[in-house]
Structure 1
């Protein structure tokens, strides 16, 4: 539910407070924190001072280009 909300948000950056407002009321703050930590560790979101942004891209063309690219 949190992942889907972040993936489909209109804004490029969202604060934790704004994310809480978009989620159903039953989402506990501690649970949300744990979910956000997991998403950050799995490289699906980036968390900064300004807020949270979705960075995961599973487009097959992008993955193919990355695998064929040169490492600098």
Structure 2
């Protein structure tokens, strides 16, 4: 749910704005845990102002190229 919201918006100016846009069943502590996970897996990043930006490349053409590519050491 959180990942989908960030992916569709591409950018949220703050955690608070993202939190307010989500359904009420998500607690703020849970949101912070999810954001930590997404950042550690390189799906999101934060800019200088603290905005949340989706950076993960999930393009179907890119996935096809990765599957067919030769893996280097």
Q: TM-score, with normalisation over the residues of structure 1?
A: 0.75
Structure 1's unaligned 5+ residue stretches are: none
Give 1:30 deviation, angstroms. Answer: 0.7
SS for the counterpart of 2:26 is coil
Deviations 1:1-32 (A, max 9, x none): 000000001xx431111101110011111100
What is the DSSP-based 3-state SS (H/G/I as helix, E as strand, rest coil) of the residue aligned with 1:8?
A: helix
- Number of residue equivalences: 65
User: Structure 2 stretches of 5 or more lacking a match?
Assistant: none
